[in-house]
Amino acid sequence: SQQGEEDPQALSIQEGENATMNCSYKTSINNLQWYRQNSGRGLVHLILIRSNEREKHSGRLRVTLDTSKKSSSLLITASRAADTASYFCATDQNNAGNMLTFGGGTRLMVKP
């Protein structure tokens, strides 16, 4: 079964706007990770946030984690057409650090 569930499933915005994607999970975790996938390619790791962290930044990316609500969000600020991709959250289900479970992803389209 899927551990993480992203919403929305699809998001379409204009270039320059911010994009927010959410992820919910079910069990305890050591960390939560966000990945990006361009169409027909492998996934690329974006950011990892540990269970004892609440917020993390990397360039235009901002990730928050709320372990009490078992949820995370990924914010992409000042979006660009090149940000168009699918974004996935992944967690180590039941603290199984060697095994990641992925959600269904959010398909982001940024219109120029």
Among 45, 54, 57, 80, binds another protein (CB under 8 A): 45
Please report, as residue ranges, which positions from 51 to 90 form the binding site for another protein (by CB under 8 A).
Answer: 88, 90
List CB contacts of 58: < 8 A, sequence separation 6 or more: 46, 47
Q: Beta partners for 110?
A: 13
Among 74, 76, 84, 103, binds another protein (CB under 8 A): 103
Token representation of residue 104: 């269904």
- The three-state secondary structure class of 83 is helix
Among 21, 49, 100, 108, binds another protein (CB under 8 A): 100
Please report, as residue ranges, which positions from 1 to 40 form the binding site for another protein (by CB under 8 A).
Answer: 2, 30-31, 33, 35, 40
Cis peptide before 112 (omega within 30 of 0): no
Token representation of residue 18: 């911010």
92 near another protein, rule: CB under 8 A: yes
Residues forming the site for another protein (CB under 8 A): 2, 30-31, 33, 35, 40-45, 48, 88, 90, 92, 97-105, 107
